Amino acid sequence: MKDAKRPEVIRPSARAADALREIRLTRDYTRHAEGSVLVEFGDTKVLCNASVEAGVPRWLRGKNQGWVTAEYGMLPRATHSRSGREASHGKQGGRTLEIQRLIGRSLRAAVNLKKLGEFTITVDCDVIQADGGTRTASITGGCVALVDAIRHLQREKLIKSDPFQQLVSAISVGIYKGVPVVDLDYPEDSKADTDLNVVMTEGGGLIEVQGTAEANAFDRAELNAMLDLAETAGARLFEHQREALGIRG
């Protein structure tokens, strides 16, 4: 592992190793969803719509709790070359299912399901344009949409107590040409040795850590360097979320 501070490593985007891309969270992006957020991590753009529905899945009925789940999709031409439409192929691919399971687990950490009552909130994360980091953008933006959906339930007096527990955000970190870097865009992601997605809580806790060695195995020191970068990035992401939501930090 090289030293991230060393100046000669130039990321394709010319960003510093610890620099995030421009982050934007636009609430009320569409008008029907109870929470609707366009999240942008640079050129990665994901529309996160949180929908409230009365009732819970069959296996939760009568347990006096709610449910939060997520679905993920990519528009066919969100990527460099067109990928087939999953609806037309007749099934969601493994990558899609893996990502939407990750988003769902992550967002459930933001909510006290007991206090949610028998409501289901589904957060649809649809990638309009992809440039690396779509799953971490989805979690970060999806959490804001989820909060808006919870606020809707409260405003409509459909629930009494507040099920919101904590903000959740996510970032990718990796080892690019031997240097730990944060928020990889596609040119970096496709060449990185290691790719680590980290989902965090405002309190500094870890919700999910998913690291994959693409070419060579990584060691504990590299893992720690990546987690340090993720921690710093997380602080900034929570600021963005709080600002978007008008929450004082």
For 238, half-sphere exposure in the C-beta direction (CA atoms, 13 angstrom radius) is 19
DSSP string covering 184-197: --HHHHTT-SEEEE
Residue 229's H or E segment, with its range, is helix 220-245
Is 249 labeled as ligand-binding? no
User: What secondary structure letter does DSSP report for 49?
Assistant: E
For position 28 contacting a copy of itself by CB under 8 A, the verdict is no
For position 97 contacting a copy of itself by CB under 8 A, the verdict is yes
CB of 145 to a copy of itself, least distance (A): 10
The residues that bridge with 201 in the sheet, in sequence order, are 168
Is 96 labeled as ligand-binding? no
Pairwise CA distance, residues 117 & 26, whole Å? 28
For position 249 contacting a copy of itself by CB under 8 A, the verdict is no
CB of 177 to a copy of itself, least distance (A): 18
For position 204 contacting a copy of itself by CB under 8 A, the verdict is yes
For position 90 contacting a copy of itself by CB under 8 A, the verdict is yes
For position 49 contacting a copy of itself by CB under 8 A, the verdict is yes
Pairwise CA distance, residues 110 & 238, whole Å? 13
Pairwise CA distance, residues 196 & 22, whole Å? 20
Whether the CA torsion 126, 130, 134, 138 is positive or negative: it is negative
Determine how β-strand 67-74 pairs with β-strand 119-129. Answer: parallel
Among 16, 19, 60, 213, binds a copy of itself (CB under 8 A): 213
Is 95 labeled as ligand-binding? yes
In the bound state with a copy of itself, the residue whose beta carbon lies nearer, of 93 and 178, is 93
Q: How many residues bind a copy of itself (CB under 8 A)?
A: 66
For position 112 contacting a copy of itself by CB under 8 A, the verdict is no
Which distant-in-sequence residues (6+ apart) come within 8 Å of 197 by Cβ? 102, 135, 136, 170, 171, 172, 208, 209, 210, 211
Is 135 labeled as ligand-binding? yes
CB of 186 to a copy of itself, least distance (A): 10
For position 218 contacting a copy of itself by CB under 8 A, the verdict is yes
Binding residues for phosphate: 95, 133-135
| Binding-site positions | 95, 133-135
Q: Given the rule CB under 8 A, which residues bind a copy of itself? A: 30-33, 36, 43, 45, 47, 49, 51, 53, 71, 73, 75-82, 85-98, 100-101, 105, 109, 122, 124, 126, 128-129, 196, 200-201, 203-213, 216-220, 223-224, 227
